[in-house]
Amino acid sequence: MSGIASGFARVPAAALDLSIVVPVYNEEENLPLLWPEIREVLAPTKLSYEVIFVDDGSRDRSAEIVRAFHEQDPRARLVRLKTNAGETAATDAGFKSARGRWVVVMDADLQNDPHDIPGMLTHLDQWDAVTGWRVNRGTGDSWVRRASSRVANRVRNALTEETVQDSGCTFRAFRRECLRDLVLYEGFHRFVPTLLKMRSYRVLEVPVNHRPRRFGESKYGIGNRAWSAFKDLLAVRWMKDRLLRYEIAEDLGGEGPSDERRSRE
Ligand code: UDP
Ligand code: MG
C-alpha cells in the first residue's frame, strides 16, 4: 500500500477511545519497557485502546518484538514499513491506521513519559490537538542538543510567525478528525501544530516530562537535522503565506449535490 493520503475512508469511525502511534526505528531495547508502561498507565483509565508500533524498516529485532506483544495482547499492533522511510512517514502510516476517537503520537525511546497521556487527553474536550513542551529537558538531553533546538525553535517561530515553545517535541494528542486534513511531507513531523493551525484547528501546548534516552541512539545529529529542517521550514512558511483565504459571500443555485456527495451516491 502506498503512503498516499487515502486511508481514512476505509477506517471505521472511532472503533476505540484511543490509538497510540509509536514510530520505531531500531528500538529493540526500549520496546519491552515501553509497552508494559503504557498498559500500566492506561489500565485505571478504562479506555479502549490500541498501540500501533510502526516499524520503520528497523534492522534490529524491533518488529519481531512487537509481533510477540501482539500474540500476547492484540491491543499491540504492528504496522511495518518495507524500508526505512523516516519518522514522518512512520507517523503518517500510524495516523492512517488509527481507529481511536483520540490519537496520541509518542517516541519509542522512553524519552516521552506515558504518564502524561491521561492529562493530555483531558484537554481534547476543549482543544483539537495538544502538543508537548519538554519543560525539564535539562535531565533528558545534552546542552548541545538543547542549545541547537533553542535556536531552531526561534528561527521556526520567526519564519512561520508562530509562538510554539517547543516545536521539536513530537509527543502529541489529537482528535482523530483533525488528522484527516493533515498532508505530511518528509520532515513535516516538526510542523504539525503549525499545519493544524493553518487549517483553523485549535492547538494547546502543555508541559510534558522528558526523560534521558537510556538505550539505542538518537537518529538525528545537528548536521543531518539543521539543513533539511531549514528547507522544510521554508516550505511551511511558503504554504502558510499562500494558504487560500476567502469567504463565500453568495452562492446562488448551489443546492444540487456537491461533487463529493455525488461520488458517494
Ligand atoms: N524514528 C523512525 N524513523 C526514523 C528515525 C526515527 O521511526 O528514520 C523514530 C525513532 O525510533 C523514535 C522517534 O522516531 O521513536 C524519534 O527519533 P529519535 O528519538 O531518534 O529523535 P530525537 O528524540 O533524538 O529527536
Ligand atoms: Mg528521542
Q: What is the pLDDT of residues 36-59, one digit of tens each?
A: 999 999 999 999 999 999 999 999
Q: Per residue in 120-145, pLDDT tens? A: 999 999 999 999 999 888 766 888 88
- What residues does ligand 1 touch, defined as CB less than 6 Å away? 23-25, 27, 56, 84, 86-87, 90, 107-109, 111, 218-220
pLDDT tens profile 63-86: 999 999 999 999 999 999 999 999
- The minimum-distance atom of ligand 1 relative to the CA of 108 is 15
Over range 144-148, report the average pLDDT.
84
What 8-state DSSP symbol labels residue 234?
H
176-193 per-position pLDDT tens digit: 999 998 999 999 999 999
Residue 7 has pLDDT above 50, yes or no: no
Q: Using one digit for the tens of pLDDT, what is the confidence trace for 90-102? A: 999 999 999 999 9
Nearest CA to ligand 1 atom 22: 218
Q: What is the mean pLDDT of the chain?
A: 90
Averaged over 223-244, what is the pLDDT? 90
User: What domains lie within the chain, and their CATH numbers?
Assistant: 12-244 (3.90.550.10)
**Bridge partner residues of 52 (DSSP):** 21, 77
Residue 88 Cα to ligand 2 midpoint, Å, equals 14
- Atom 13 of ligand 1, residue of closest alpha carbon: 107
- Whether the CB-CB separation of 207 and 135 falls below 8 Å is answered with yes
Give the Å distances, CA to CA, from 86 to 24, 48, 58, 184. 10, 29, 11, 12
* pLDDT above 60: residue 9: no
Cell 503549525 belongs to residue: 194
Ion ligand 2 contact residues with beta carbon within 5 A: 107, 109, 111
